[in-house]
Chain A
């Protein structure tokens, strides 16, 4: 009741402010009148009576201020008043305000946009039940520094049976399939998954049901499809459940459709999930490592405990089957989804934060400078009864008003930036769009408030303290105390240092990016079209060889095609697909340890892509199907096993085929082709001719076509050529090598562009800050300069003294910035793709640019100082 009463009263005061103010004024006036009237009655003159009465009130304005600040809700009123006052200040000096708001908008906008990416990738909850309790389980060799690796079906089975830390473990395997019902045949990215995947992840379908463990074990042909496929291929029809579709020419019943937001490792683009239905043979194949395992932690078990338990368990169960036995590691689902991107994001968010800090420092400097010219006004307010706290509060509210406006403009700026940043989201993740959600908005509000306090506090405290010290007697002439300059100079040094750190880091990334661009890919990338024709319709080795050769013949016949070849994996795209091998000089035990990339190619492959030969020969017509086939190895393979001598003539055997395995003779060494991707490490690789590769399942379903015309223009013709041979043959993943390179470099490109942009922004802001402070110092000290010149100082001396100050500040910032950049170096190592950064070069360039910019920024005000006319300057006194 009491509260309600107060609330009504406070509201009344706020909404009927004019009435309330007039009321207060009238009442105090009435007080004076009555007091004066009494005095007159006791014999004082009218004028003296009024004077005494007013004196008794202790000043009309102060009394009013007391009443106002004594009321409930007074703070609301005060904030409102300061807000209006702040807005009036902003309107009074629109140019100044525009600069401040624009600077803040840049800082806040950049951070909001960056944070929306961080939010989407690192914070937003994953679409599983209790995602924090899910972990991925990987295989790991006991070798020092061995990377984590996929699991084999028997490991999954044993882990599931024997572990004590998970409620359950599910597994998935690659399972791309071709859909060939109605419409054009197409290849769908798919996974073969164990029946318990759904319960382990805790997900439900949008329509229909998921398949059961029993269906998995019995090998029932059922399939769950993605929301995307359902929309695209089945017109979002609810009757899709129960329909039969042809996958790899076999009938499967669609039992369910997953919701739009569902995705799981390894990529977000999976369209079909089928039962894994591991065969008894596969469940004994310890070398068949293509399984991704995910487990749900038992209540109370931590990921670390699970990791230790799984490592011990796998060492035990694998000991009977592989030598040396394998260990295991666990990792969080998010870690595997996000991968390297988290480093990029954190570095970029840090850079954005530095930009905001520079913006704040700049604004603080601007406000400090302006504060000097407002001292008179502030002193007046102090004289009218404003306490120090009130003055500080007023300054802070002014700066918060500025940062609030900056935040509004910043959010508007962030919007387009977010579209650009969407490309930072890794392809593994289901998030496709960056959105303003409550977290992003909260973040903007928090950084705007923080920024307002950071840049507002120093000017506020200074302004208030000065005002109370000086009152009105210092005629308002600005003679800035020495301390104020020290503070402003420190701010300049800080922002210069931040700018230098950003420029240096940006420079190192740019250097890396150039090195990546200049990498020798081992092939000529222009005019090369690639695509894949899955060969599931051709069951035997001979059928496949015949079909591939027929395809190549048709393609070569297309006008505009220069050359065509086939390979089992399109170059630059597949990181693994490797094989164990054994050299003739080795005994069998080494075959378990050494792995090389395995590629099966057609005769014209190397010449089509423009690979170059280091020694020996490529495949030719003399290589026919036999039990003494040929192989080509890459340089890494040659230098690993045959350093300083030629491997030509040496023999190598594949996999663990034992005595029946062919011995391949090495006939040539090819200069390194970046099979695994532009920025990936090189690995030993063995190439075989498809007509001789009858002992393994690899076959050249990938094609590379060298064209005389722009390769994209050949796509239709190539498709038709293949469909003229077999109209049910899917043609998938059509892309040019140049597309592939651009896509692979998109992450480093993005990092470089963004960090570069942040660094330039920082440099510009720092230069503006330096310019502002020096200009202000010149303006403030015009009369001093006049005196010096009147006493005989030359314009040149004045120019040098101001220029030297600018330079000293810049050098200070440079030194601290270099130290900052070097200490941040470790943070960015994963963004350098293994290249050794040349800091000396980058630092030299950064110093050069910085000093040039700083000279310019100090020269203009210094020159203005040197041109001061002593007569005019002194007359201003």
Chain B
């Protein structure tokens, strides 16, 4: 199946949402994204990691090295308090945007 491009600005939102469930490493995030999007999205690591680093720099995420279930070492990201706030704000805005877009499309 052909993959969709991730719409501008929604990658951060999706990363934050995934991490709000549980801390996760980069590879795990790409996998979850693929699964959750039912294989419509596949995020390129070249886009994922810059986003992760930027969110970390902004204090939305906190990273630490931990062992994985398969006994590898990986860098786990988790949401900070400020990250949670950002997620709520973005989510609220996203809901409004999608509601608005849907309304327009259905009403036209």
A residues whose Cβ falls under 8 Å from a Cβ of B: 2, 5-6, 9-10, 23-24, 26-28, 30-31, 33-35, 37-38, 56-58, 62-63, 66-67, 69-72
Contact = CB atoms under 8 A, between A and B. Distances in A.
B46 interface: yes
Interface string B35-79: 000000000111101110110111100000100101011110000
Contacts of B51: 70
Contact of B72 (A24, A28, A30, A63): A30
Given A9-B57, A35-B27, A56-B45, A30 B73 contact: yes
Secondary structure class of chain B's binding surface, majority of residues: helix
B26 interface: yes
B45 A10 contact: no
Nearest to A56: B45
B90 interface: no
B25 interface: yes
Contacts of B72: 30, 33-34, 37
B53 A70 contact: yes
Interface in B8-54: 25-28, 31, 44-47, 49-51, 53-54
Contacts of A35: 27
Nearest to B51: A70
Nearest to B49: A67
Given A2-B59, A71-B54, A72-B57, A66 B74 contact: no
A778 to B, nearest CB: 47
17 contacts: A2-B58, A9-B57, A27-B75, A28-B49, A31-B45, A34-B27, A34-B74, A35-B27, A57-B45, A57-B46, A62-B46, A63-B45, A63-B46, A63-B49, A70-B54, A71-B50, A71-B53
A5 B53 CA distance: 13
Given A31-B27, A34-B25, A35-B27, 13 more contacts: A9-B57, A27-B49, A27-B74, A30-B73, A34-B27, A38-B31, A58-B46, A63-B46, A63-B49, A66-B47, A71-B53, A71-B54, A72-B58
Q: For chain B, give the interface size range.
A: 20 to 34
Contacts of A33: 72
A708 to B, nearest CB: 89
Nearest to B45: A57
Contacts of B58: 2, 5-6, 72
A109 to B, nearest CB: 43
A605 to B, nearest CB: 89
Nearest to B26: A31
List 5 A-B pairs, minimum CB-CB distance, nearest first: A70-B50, A34-B27, A5-B59, A9-B57, A27-B75
Contacts of A30: 25-27, 72-75
A66 B49 contact: yes
Contacts of A2: 58-59
Given A2-B58, A5-B59, A30-B25, A37 B70 contact: yes
A30 B49 CA distance: 13
A67 B50 contact: yes
A31 B31 CA distance: 11
Secondary structure class of chain A's binding surface, majority of residues: helix
A71 B57 contact: yes
B27 A67 contact: no
A693 to B, nearest CB: 93
B49 to A, nearest CB: 5
A27 B57 contact: no
Q: Which of B28, B31, B49, B70 has the most CB of A within 10 A?
A: B49
Contacts of B74: 27, 30, 34
Q: Which of A27, A62, A69 has the most CB of B within 10 A?
A: A27
Contacts of A57: 45-46
A64 to B, nearest CB: 9
B57 A6 contact: yes
Contacts of B49: 24, 27-28, 63, 66-67
Contacts of A23: 75
Contacts of A38: 31
Q: Which of B54, B56, B68 has the most CB of A within 10 A?
A: B54
Contacts of B59: 2, 5-6, 9
Contacts of B45: 28, 31, 56-58, 63
Contacts of A63: 45-46, 49
Contacts of B53: 67, 70-71
A63 B57 CA distance: 18
A57 B44 CA distance: 7
Contacts of A24: 49
Nearest to A34: B27
Contact of A66 (B26, B50, B65): B50
B27 A10 contact: no
A6 B58 CA distance: 6
A37 B72 CA distance: 11
B14 to A, nearest CB: 17
A3 to B, nearest CB: 10
Contacts of A6: 57-59
A43 B27 CA distance: 19
Contacts of A26: 65, 73, 75
B47 to A, nearest CB: 8
A310 to B, nearest CB: 68
B25 A66 contact: no
Interface string B69-101: 010111100000000000000000000000000
A385 to B, nearest CB: 10
Contacts of B31: 38
B46 A27 contact: no
A250 B31 CA distance: 106
Nearest to B59: A5
A33 B31 CA distance: 14
Nearest to B47: A66
A63 B59 CA distance: 22
